[in-house]
Amino acid sequence: MSRPRTRMLVAVGVCLVLLAAVVAVVRLTGGWTGSVTVLANWSGAEREQFERAVRPFEEEHRIDVVYQGSSALSQVLAADLAAGTQPDVALLPGPGELTAYAAEGRLEPLDGLFEAGDYGGVWVPKVAGGDGRKRTYWLPVKTGLKSMVWHGGDLSGAGIGRAAGEPGRWCVGMESGATSGWPGTDWVEDILLQQAGPEVYAQWANGRLPWTDPRVRKAWRTWGDLVGAGDRSRVDRLLQDNFARDCSRRNLEHLGSFRDSHWKPLAGDFVHSAEVIPGAREGADHWEVSGDLAALLNATDEAKKLIRFLADPDTRLPDFTAHRRAAAPDGPEDAPRRRIGSILRGAERRLCWDASDTMPPALRDAFHQAVLRFLVAPGELNAQLRELEDVSVDRRPTLPVCGGG
């Protein structure tokens, strides 16, 4: 069953390359000097914002940036690499696959193309390449904050705590197309981070702590109690509701910084998730983060110039940036955004990668499915955790999951 799908993905990759070649020829006949292909999964407003952001680069350098979008990013990139038709630059959500590609010698190092000190260490770690030497292999282009609980802005700490104890007060939606279930993985990861701490969390994310560990099991149980796992009438709605559906300002929502556009008209605000997670360690202040990371697959002069441009703090890219010299949002209405940006860029905070973004694709997909099954049948958790442990048996390169913010 896998062969037709592989051939289809290779065909898609070849078509994208041919399209890029046609566009490049048109540009070259108009005085442009070259092109660089970029593969990402951005669509809609994010793609439009990226394409607007790179226009100054195109005009200044006379280099055509050919955007290739795909919702099946991991599969298309793998097929492109197998066919030898990889893009010049790929933007992947999280460092898991990039760490593996670096270890296989698939990526070109970025050392010297930008100043790594402009970012916190968790964003630009040095990881082992195909020769075993540790270098910088990716650049954070778009970043997001997690470990957030959004609310209407007028709840006191006690009020938020009381609301958190009522499953009906949580806005929860699991539906997200092919990636349905990821909001649940965010919950489980965050609870483990706040309850067990960053060292345990990093061991688990790197496959060095089994899924059957009691601390991991406790995180699942805590999430199930918070959102009402096993309540069939409620769970049916959670499974059908899209993660981005509207949430009333009287309710709470455990989603990342991308939701600021929803909560802003509601005068919303957020608290650290440790304030509402039962059993969180005293003083827990670690935040989960996410990000789209630019990696270099073909070290052409045009691609290197684009990496330098993307690292410029004045480049207006989608969502939030972790660049320490980038301008912060201004205006009183942007107070939550300023806090988000400060946490993402500030050295005073501790940041940890979204654990599922560090996992191999097969394990990440199994994790998505497991949270959906857990909501329906929480009594089968032990069997589900054993299944996840079976998928996680393969050793993988160790990644610095947590680090200085």
Residue type, 304: K
Q: What is the pLDDT of residue 14?
A: 47
- Residue in 93, 132, 86 with CA at minimum distance from that of residue 109: 132
What mean pLDDT is predicted for residues 365-377? 98
**pLDDT(3) > 60:** no
User: What own/partner pairs with CB < 8 Å and gap ≥ 24 does 14-18 have?
Assistant: 14/83, 14/85, 16/68, 16/70, 16/76, 17/80, 17/85
Task: Map out the domains of the chain with their CATH numbers.
Answer: 2-142+292-340 (3.40.190.10), 144-288+352-404 (3.40.190.10)
Task: Write the DSSP symbol of residue 278.
Answer: T
Burial of 179 (C-beta count, 10 Å sphere; 0-12/13-18/19+): middle
Quote the pLDDT of residue 97.
94
* Cα separation, 143 vs 94, whole angstroms: 10
Between 17-21, 173-177, 344-348, the lowest mean confidence (pLDDT) is in: 17-21
CB 87 within 8 A of CB 55: no
The backbone torsions φ and ψ at residue 145, rounded to the nearest 5 degrees and listed phi first, read -100, 140
Helix (H/G/I), strand (E/B), else coil: 323 = coil
Containing 126, the helix (H) or strand (E) segment is strand 126-128
pLDDT tens digits for range 77-119:
999 999 999 999 999 999 999 999 999 999 999 999 999 999 9
Among 176, 188, 186, which residue's Cα sits nearest to residue 144? 186
| pLDDT value for 331 | 64
Where residue 154 falls among pLDDT bands split at 50, 70, 90? confident
Q: What is the pTM of this model?
A: 0.89
What whole-number distance in Å separates Cα of residue 170 and Cα of residue 151? 10
